[in-house]
């Protein structure tokens, strides 16, 4: 079986890059500035199970256009935050379906941020796979249907509904407990 996937990378100056594993030329330097990469994450797409890490953009690219001729382009690339290692570890634990407490202390401040990123990832995955079901899911949750009833109703969608719903319920419960 062959490996399929890509690598997400951010250099020490915050320039983000993605490269297919088979297109990689062996260089570990940024195409924008030549700096070494400060962070990387391999996304395994062999069986559509890879989870990209949700990188956070700090500033947009600067695009300038000449007033005379109308030509122009990007003069400075977008800048991204270099992910915190603990947040990444907790996020990847959640992606594997295990508690982040297995890789970090349960009091680690990175866990709530990782749970939030995982919830956003799950919501994005749910939205892309079943956009027509989202409103129904929210309405069912607000009507007080049980989690099992919601899972049964969404079972024909073809995603790991159990894991996503369980994680979303856990996140909502954590947020309600803090209020």
Quote the Cα angle for 63-69-72, to 5°: 20
| Cβ–Cβ under 8 Å, residues 178 and 167 | no
Could you read off the pLDDT tens digit of each residue along the chain, which spans 179 residues?
688 899 999 999 999 999 998 888 778 899 899 999 999 888 888 876 678 888 888 888 888 888 888 788 878 888 998 888 888 888 787 777 777 777 777 677 777 777 777 777 776 666 555 544 545 555 555 555 565 666 665 555 555 666 666 666 666 666 556 65
Is this structure's pTM higher than 0.75?
no
């Amino acid at each position: 079986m062959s490996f399929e996937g890509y690598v997400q990378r951010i250099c020490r100056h915050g320039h983000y890059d993605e490269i297919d594993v088979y297109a990689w030329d062996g260089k570990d330097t940024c195409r924008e500035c030549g700096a070494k990469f400060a962070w990387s994450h391999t996304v395994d797409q062999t069986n559509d199970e890879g989870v990209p890490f949700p990188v956070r953009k700090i500033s947009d690219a600067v695009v300038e256009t000449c007033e005379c001729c109308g030509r122009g382009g990007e003069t400075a690339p977008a800048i991204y935050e270099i992910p915190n290692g603990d947040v990444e570890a907790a996020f990847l634990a959640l992606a594997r379906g295990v508690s982040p407490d297995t890789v970090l202390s349960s009091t680690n401040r990175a866990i709530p941020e990782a749970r939030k990123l995982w919830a956003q990832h799950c919501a994005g995955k749910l939205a892309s796979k079943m956009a027509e079901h989202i409103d129904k899911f929210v309405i069912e949750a607000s009507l007080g249907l049980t989690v099992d009833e919601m899972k049964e109703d969404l079972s024909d969608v073809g995603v790991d509904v159990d894991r996503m719903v369980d994680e979303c319920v856990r996140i909502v419960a954590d947020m309600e407990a803090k209020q």
